[in-house]
Amino acid sequence: MNRKKFSLGVCQLRTELEYEATMEKAAEMISFAAKSGAKVLVLPEMFSCPYAREYFHAFASRGHEETCRRLSSWARENRVLLIGGSVPEVEGDRIYNTCFVYGADGELLARHRKVHLFDVDLPGMRFHESHTFTPGSEITVFDTPYGKMGVAICFDVRFPELFRAMARRGAELICLPAQFNMTTGPAHWETTMRTRAIDNELFFVAAAAARHEGFSYECWGHSLILDPYGTKLAEADETEQLLLAELDLNRIDEVRAQLPTFLHLREDVYAVTN
């Protein structure tokens, strides 16, 4: 296996109000992606739970174990590395917005708890994830057969220090399950994602949910797969769809040779610890 080259897929699916309906769609899309050659798959933020406060506790009350069991099974049955979007993870009396990552053998590779919670007061929208979730406190970078990867979740992307720290820890690909909305999406989605790829000269995958028109929180969609130069390798619209792209990690070396920003960091002036 040439770990430097592989096919990656983003499953931009719409989360339904009925849990089993969402699980069936996810299973079908993952199976189709694997048959299409994808070796790494990424699901959206809160793919198993409607993204609205009135649903968080209800879906968390059933526990995250069943969803994780299915993620593990999908990874194993389809022989893919699965970045499992995020789910409401329950630990004691706390709920986390958590991404679980499973290898092609179905074993857990990593877990990322959303570090920066979405507490905002936008025109026409007030949303406070901290009323439900507890923030995580770890930078998530892990080894895979396809190179070193990092994971963050949605609002994390607005804090560039986190992504520079992942790059400093060797991440070659960062995956971001997300749900930007109809205000922040048109304004900031593509610009922010491309900036993180360009800043850190690595592959960047922003995996959004498909839009659920009329729902209290409408996701912008528009999942992206970006190369280290910020070039779009694949882009979705707002509908349910599968994105596929071929990634060649040699491209990182090419870009960093052309623009050797990591050689010119002024750690005598500033530093992001690794």
Q: Is residue 161 part of a domain?
A: yes
Q: Is residue 25 part of a domain?
A: yes
Q: Is residue 269 part of a domain?
A: no
Give pLDDT, residue 272.
87
| DSSP letters spanning 143-203 | EETTEEEEE--GGGGG-HHHHHHHHHTT-SEEEEEE--BTTHHHHHHHHHHHHHHHHHTSE
Q: Is residue 75 part of a domain?
A: yes
Active site residue 219: no
Out of 49, 68, 99, 154, pick the active-site residue. Answer: 154
Give pLDDT, residue 254.
96
Q: What is the pLDDT of residues 193-230, one digit of tens each?
A: 999 999 999 999 999 999 999 998 999 999 999 999 99
Average pLDDT of the chain to the nearest whole number: 95
Out of 11, 25, 45, 129, pick the active-site residue. Answer: 45
Q: Is residue 272 part of a domain?
A: no
Give pLDDT, residue 274.
65
Q: Is residue 37 part of a domain?
A: yes
pLDDT at 262 over 80: yes
Q: Is residue 271 part of a domain?
A: no
Give pLDDT, residue 53.
87
Mean pLDDT of the 241-248 span: 98
Residue with tokens 């509908």: 239
Q: How far is CA 117 from the centre of its chain?
A: 15
Number of domains in the chain: 1
Active site residue 154: yes
Q: Is residue 273 part of a domain?
A: no
Q: Under a CB-based contact definition with an 8 Å cutoff, are residues 209 and 14 in contact?
A: yes
pLDDT at 2 over 80: no
Give pLDDT, residue 169.
96
Largest CA distance in the chain: 54
Domain holding 196: CATH number? 3.60.110.10
Burial class of 87 by CB neighbour count within 10 A (0 to 12, 13 to 18, 19+) = buried
Q: What is the pLDDT of residues 96-141, one digit of tens each?
A: 999 999 999 999 999 999 999 999 998 877 889 999 999 999 999 9
**Domain region containing 71:** 5-264
Out of 11, 114, 175, 238, pick the active-site residue. Answer: 114
